[in-house]
Each structure stands twice: as C-alpha cells, then as structure tokens.
Amino acid sequence: MSESGLIYLLWSDLVGMTRTRGVPLQDFDSRLESGLGWACAGQAMTPFEHLADNPWGPVDEVRQIPDADTRFTIPASGEHPAIHAVLCDSRPSPGEDWSACVRSFCRKAIADLKAETGLDLISAFELEFLLHGPDFVPEAPFSFAAARAQHGFLTELEAMLSAAGVAPETVEPEYGRGQYEISCSPRPALKAADAALVSCEITREAARRHGIRASFSPKPTPEHVGNGSHIHLSLANAEGLNVTYDGAHPLGLSETAAKFCAGILAHFDALLAITAPSPVSYHRLGPHHWSTGYRCIGWQNREAAIRIMPGISRDPEKAAKGFNLEIRASDCTASPYLAVGVLARAGLEGIRKNLSLPGPAEIDPADMSEEARLEAGITPLPESLDAALEAFKTDEVVRGWFSDDLYQSFMSVKSWEADYARSTAPEHLFARYRRTY
Ligand code: GLU
Ligand code: MG
C-alpha cells in the first residue's frame, strides 16, 4: 500500500468510548496480523481522566488487532483531510480471544445463540443526538425548518455514512430542541454494533466540520429531551427469513421470539446496568418520556421496555419480514457490543428455560393501576445507576455471562461513575457527559 497519511486503529471499551492509536497508512498491512499493544488496564478507563481500579495494574498488555473487513474512510471535505480507520479486536495474541474484549463478548453471545437455536440475530440501532454550539439555533420539532437549517450538515453526514459502508435508513430532526436522529439499517448483530459505533463517530465528525457539536449523552441537560439508542432485534433462520413473527400469537410473536423476549424481560433490571450504564442514563429513563420506566412489553407501545414493531405491509409475508422488537431502555453511554451481547444472552436464556411472557402493557404502564401492573407482572425499572448495578450484582445468571476480569473492571468503572455523580454538582456532571459523549 503506497498511500500516505494515518490510519486509526479503533476499539470500543466498557464505557462505550472509542479509543485509538494511529499508524502510518503505508504500514497498515504489516499491522494486520499483530496490531498494536495496549495496556489491559486501559479497559478500566472511566469516561474522564481517571483509571478505575482494575485486575491488571501496570503490567499486562493486549494487542489491538484490526478486523480488515471493518476498514472505512471518512472522505475529505473543505480543509478537512480524509480520515482512515479500522475496528479492532483486543487479543492477548493473534487468534486468541481476550476475556475482557467487548467485541468478542458480543461475537460469542451471537454465536452461542446461533449454535443452540440455528438462528441469527439481526439488529439495528436508532441513534438520537443533540446538536449544539454557540451559533446553533434550534428549530421546531420534526420540522422541515429544522432539517433545512442543518441541511449542509445532514447532507454531508449521509454522504460520509454511505462512504463508510453504514448508509442510514433515515436521517431526521427529532422531538427535542436541537435533537436529531439517524436510524441505522438492519444487519447481523455484530455488524450492527460496529455500524452504531461508526455512525456515532461519523456524526460527531460531520458536526465538527460544520462548526457545531453532536452529543449522544442520554440527558444532555436536565431540561433537554433524552437521547435514546433504541436497539431493534429480530431472529432469522438459516435461509435468512425473519422468524420473529407468528400471526397466531396475541402479540404476533413466534414461539421462539416470545421466549426470547421473556428472557430479556426476566433479566431486564440487571441488563439495564449494561444498556443504560451511566448516572445520566437515569435522568433520561422514567415514565411519560417515551424512554420507558417499566419492565414490560407492548404492541407499538413507546413506554414499554420492549416495543413490538409490526411489519407495515398488508401482505403477510412482507409484514413478517419487517416485524421486529425494539429495546428502548438503552443509550449511547453503553458499549453497543456489551448491549447486543447481553440481549442475545438473555434471549437465549429465555429460549433455554422456556420462559413465558408476562402480560403486555396495552397503554402507558404509568397510567395503569398498581393492581393491573401487579397482575401483568409489570414492575418499575431501577431508578439509578446504583440500583441497576445492584440488580446486576444479584442476578447470578447475568453475572455468569461475564468473565471475572470483565465483571470486576466493569463494576469498578461504573461504581466510580456512580460515586463521581454523587460528589459532582449537577450542571458540571451533565456538561461532562454532554461533552464526552
Ligand atoms: N427520545 C426518546 C428516548 O429517550 C425516544 C423518542 C422516540 O423516538 O420515540 O428514548
Ligand atoms: Mg427517536
């Protein structure tokens, strides 16, 4: 390869941040086999300038080894040079999995689901973000004015996403002041997590090139509408057919999909520590925000932790093709790999144990009577990071999916964040998460 410039080796960590080391592009081929070294302890970085206690200390190292299929380029524009990058797996040595690598955690969970059920997990992320900056003027929610005001940014964003191989399904203004959204297209779940990471980074870069900032923080300020990262899931058989739907079920779920959902719901409180893992996540979650406050499932219900998304066609075959589940209690402070990984594992657990689904929420669960909620098994979600971490700690099943190193470092980083939130003034806390994510 004779190109000049840099290529960034990227990897995602426990706090959903993309870390990197760059190498000359001309040396890329020679880095393909053994990558670059990185202190294991780096996996215990908090989102800020702080390394949490961790099992490795100053001694051990892993290799960040590029997965050549994930290489992408953000094209040059104006005075901004092209950016070349590639996603990596963290490995003790080439070909060997590291017990604390989030991408390998995700890959294994999906592989186990496939091995036991013959099904592939298909996924797509919906990513909400806030545009802000001194010269940014918000327009009305969902309005054409809000699209036109940012048309330059949105157009370049679409072009960059497409050039990087992660063309979005839609790009639009959202409900909140200054809030926008991209919906990624569905892909096999590991690639969907890759696409979520790449899409967030490209959005931040496109905004930067337009003199604004894009923040995916779940709650950029106490007043702003929350940013979700809804995760869509469906199950596909060996022929690639969506087998999530069955018209005979009251909620349209196939037998396997119903068990899959039951597994996710059974462990939802613990899963939340992974899918909504920062102190500000809990300022987004809660009833009446369309972000979800209750552990329940519901047909097209935006207040349910799992929203059933029916296919839109009148043709039953086409409708079955579009049918999917939307996990709403997740945000971009989560590692997309850990989030998809635990959802796959929880779903598999439901299939293994033949779990049955609790009653659905037919309306906003917050508007149901306490009695009706009890009867349907609908319970409030943990209301703080501490409560979610406690649920994780006490859920033996979920705990069992994590290696000791991964569990300890995750708990250590997240407990540090929970402590940090307790000792930090709210304006400062929101600003730091807004700036970092
Ligand atoms: N902003 C809402 C959330 O925090 C979601 C709104 C919607 O797209 O339904 O999840
Ligand atoms: Mg949205």
Residue partners of 167: CB distance under 8 A and separation at least 6: 158, 161, 185
How confident is the model at residue 255, as a pLDDT? 97
Residue partners of 153: CB distance under 8 A and separation at least 6: 131, 206, 207, 210, 212
Phi, psi of 409 (to 5 degrees): -70, -40
> Which DSSP letter does residue 27 get?
G
Q: Which ligand is nearest to the CA of 219?
A: 1
How confident is the model at residue 2, as a pLDDT? 55
Residues with CB under 5 A from ligand 2 (ion): 181
How remote is the CA of residue 174 from the centroid of ligand 2, in Å? 6
Buried b (16+ CB within 10 A) or exposed e, 189-208: bbbbbbbbbbbbbbbbbbbe
Residue partners of 96: CB distance under 8 A and separation at least 6: none
How confident is the model at residue 314, as a pLDDT? 82
Assess contact for 25 and 421: CB atoms under 8 A.
no
* Conformational region of residue 427, where left means phi above 0, alpha means psi within -120 to 50, and beta covers everything else: alpha
How confident is the model at residue 336, as a pLDDT? 98
pLDDT in tens, the chain (437 residues): 457 899 999 999 999 999 999 999 999 999 999 999 999 999 999 999 999 999 999 999 999 999 999 999 999 999 999 999 999 999 999 999 999 999 999 999 999 999 999 999 999 999 999 999 999 999 999 999 999 999 999 999 999 999 999 999 999 999 999 999 999 999 999 999 999 999 999 999 999 999 999 999 999 999 999 999 999 999 999 999 999 999 999 999 999 999 999 999 999 999 999 999 999 999 999 999 999 999 999 999 999 999 999 988 888 888 899 999 999 999 999 999 999 999 999 999 999 999 999 989 999 999 999 999 999 999 999 999 999 999 999 999 999 999 999 999 999 999 999 999 999 999 999 999 999 99
How remote is the CA of residue 232 from the centroid of ligand 2, in Å? 12
Tell me which residue of 238, 194, 223, 335 sits closest to 283, measured CA to CA.
223
Ligand 1 atom with the smallest distance to the CA of 128 is: 1
CATH superfamily of 106-395: Glutamine synthetase/guanido kinase, catalytic domain (3.30.590.10)
Q: Which of 225, 282, 294 to mutate to test the pocket of ligand 1 (most atoms within 8 A of CB)?
A: 225
Q: Which of 289, 300, 303, 330 to mutate to test the pocket of ligand 1 (most atoms within 8 A of CB)?
A: 289
How confident is the model at residue 1, as a pLDDT? 44
Ligand 1 atom with the smallest distance to the CA of 126 is: 8
Q: Which ligand is nearest to the CA of 285?
A: 1
How far is the C-alpha of 243 from the C-alpha of 147, rounded, in Å? 36
Q: Which ligand is nearest to the CA of 328?
A: 1
H helix count then E strand count, the chain: 15, 16
How remote is the CA of residue 303 from the centroid of ligand 2, in Å? 13
Strand segments (E) across 330-416? 379-380
Ligand 1 surroundings by CB, under 6 angstroms:
128, 225-226, 228, 284, 290-291, 302, 328
How far is the C-alpha of 307 from the C-alpha of 230, rounded, in Å? 10
**Rg (Cα) of the chain, in Å, rounded?**
21
How remote is the CA of residue 424 from the centroid of ligand 2, in Å? 29
How remote is the CA of residue 2 from the centroid of ligand 1, in Å? 46
How remote is the CA of residue 82 from the centroid of ligand 1, in Å? 33
How remote is the CA of residue 289 from the centroid of ligand 1, in Å? 7
* Conformational region of residue 35, where left means phi above 0, alpha means psi within -120 to 50, and beta covers everything else: left
* Conformational region of residue 366, where left means phi above 0, alpha means psi within -120 to 50, and beta covers everything else: alpha
Q: Which of 290, 300, 381 to mutate to test the pocket of ligand 1 (most atoms within 8 A of CB)?
A: 290
Cα–Cα–Cα angle for 112, 194, 87, rounded to 5 degrees = 105
How remote is the CA of residue 226 from the centroid of ligand 2, in Å? 10
Distances (CA, A) of 243 to 16, 272, 311: 30, 26, 12
Assess contact for 128 and 229: CB atoms under 8 A.
yes
Q: Which of 291, 330, 333 to mutate to test the pocket of ligand 1 (most atoms within 8 A of CB)?
A: 291
Name the residue ranges covered by the structural domains of the chain: 106-395
Ligand 1 atom with the smallest distance to the CA of 179 is: 1
Q: If 0-12 CB within 10 Å is exposed, 13-18 middle and 19+ buried, where does residue 303 land? A: buried
User: What is the residue whose two structure tokens read 């931040």?
Assistant: 204
